[in-house]
Structure 1
């Protein structure tokens, strides 16, 4: 994988475009959340981020980068596909594609689990667990028929966030911010009386920051950390085969 100092022209252009579209989208969220500009810029965000990552890595990309690109693709579908549906169907489509994204992130981060809080800081693991349990307990009663989906998604994003701590600090913080973004969605959808001014703006700014941190963290991994992660993954697969 190339280092951040050797980003290609295409990668730099894609990341710059991502930053520009982000600004336009966030302004649109504040001015008119239901406008075509708001929707169109949201549809562009993940493709631009994925293009930047793809263009900045070697043609023979490693397992981690390939899975992050797949997770970004599922995230893009989660951003765009719900616009084709209404009501609960739209929310189920959103949860479905983002559940696929979270499962893909879990698969990407799993080889680094030995360096995660699962093994290094159990008290931090407890904090993650408490936060997700409280969130699910608050949201599930108002979710109705979607309660099971909410619980499953909560377990998956918690697992993703825990495993992310083994990859890098940037990826770990990106996962935490992702949890915050999805928590805002759940609270807004299922908790009566929850009111946050410019909710869409806060959901999107945390979501965009989360994806950017995860992508940047993956891109900036040193060769040593990257290789050791691959060796861990290879060892796991060898053990499984045995």
Structure 2
């Protein structure tokens, strides 16, 4: 390789990373605002998270032919954005069901994405642990779910399905699936288990959520660019 090649490579790679750095910065500000109780900052930064991640994906992919997996990725991010801002985008309607619907659709988009991922590996055998997660979650939450028992059980299958399918994309997306599932698990505890502190759980929900989404997006872009 000639001496002129190294600067060219650095120039090409630099813009691919700054979008994810910007997403990470917004995420840190958002989580810190939750932890510090800065309510004036919490919701605006929450609404910025997924647009920042979408920009990061578009910057990181660079030029080249558009792929179907990238469309599914941006669809999952857009649906997550609607879930994040359910109260803002659907005023006057019940927030929680709409939030869960949007995130359920986002998870389905991720599942389709990983099912269609070119040259993907098989689902990892260790993903069977997610079946144990589903059983354990239902065992803990079932007495507190009331009429939502079946809905939560089905929703849990979708969540576990995303995490399991993410193992097809490699170590980065598999780790992203773990963090995304951790976020949903903490959120479920906060919503349905009595005595779980929202002030304590809130920062962890969003910290694991942003890490999970960021790793999923970056891992997919790395494979498809």
Query: Could you say which residue in structure 1 is the equivalent of 2:43?
Result: 39
1:151-190 correspondence to structure 2 within 5 Å = 151-190=153-192
* Structure 1 match to 2:19: 14
CA distance in structure 1 between the aligned counterparts of 2:33 and 2:177, rounded to whole angstroms: 25
Structure 1 counterpart of 2:4: none
**Structure 1 segments of 4+ aligned residues over 6 angstroms from their partners:** none
Q: What are structure 1's unaligned runs of at least 5 residues?
A: 228-242
Specify whether residues 42 and 7 from structure 1 end up closer, same or farther in structure 2 by C-alpha distance, changes over 3 A only: farther
Q: 1:65 to 1:145 in 2, by over 3 A?
A: same
TM-score between both structures, scaled by the size of structure 2: 0.84
Cα contact 2:69–2:116 (8 A) shared by 1:
no
Deviates more, 1:142-151 or 1:166-175: 142-151
Which residue of structure 2 lines up, in the alignment, with residue 215 of structure 1?
Answer: 217
* Distance of aligned partners of 1:61 and 1:91 in 2 relative to their CA distance in 1, 3 Å threshold: same
- 1:16 Cα shift? 3.0
- Deviation of residue 23 (structure 1)? 1.8
Q: Which residue of 1 aligns with 2:98?
A: 93
Q: Compared with structure 1, are the counterparts of its residues 5 and 108 closer, same or farther at alpha carbon in structure 2 (3 Å cutoff)?
A: farther
Q: Is residue 116–residue 164 contact of structure 1 (8 Å, CA) maintained in 2?
A: no
Query: Please, which of 34, 50, 70 is the counterpart of residue 29 of structure 1?
Result: 34
Give the match's secondary structure for 1:115: coil
For the Cα contact (< 8 Å) 2:20–2:214, is it kept in 1?
A: no
| Counterparts of 1:97 and 1:201, CA distance in 2 | 21
Unaligned runs of 5+ in 2: 1-8
Q: Give distance in 1, aligned partners of 2:221 and 2:11.
A: 11
Whole-Å separation in 2 of the counterparts to 1:192 and 1:36 = 27
- What's the offset of the Cα at 1:159? 1.1
Give the secondary-structure state (helix, strand or coil) at the position aligned to 1:6: helix
Alpha-carbon shift at residue 4 of structure 1 (Å): 10
- Shift of the 61–45 alpha-carbon distance from structure 1 to 2, 3 Å rule, reads same
Name the residue aligned to 1:140: 142
Trace 1:186-197 onto structure 2 (pairs within 5 A): 186-195=188-197
C-alpha RMSD of matched pairs (Å): 2.6
2:54 corresponds to: 50
SS at match of 2:137: helix
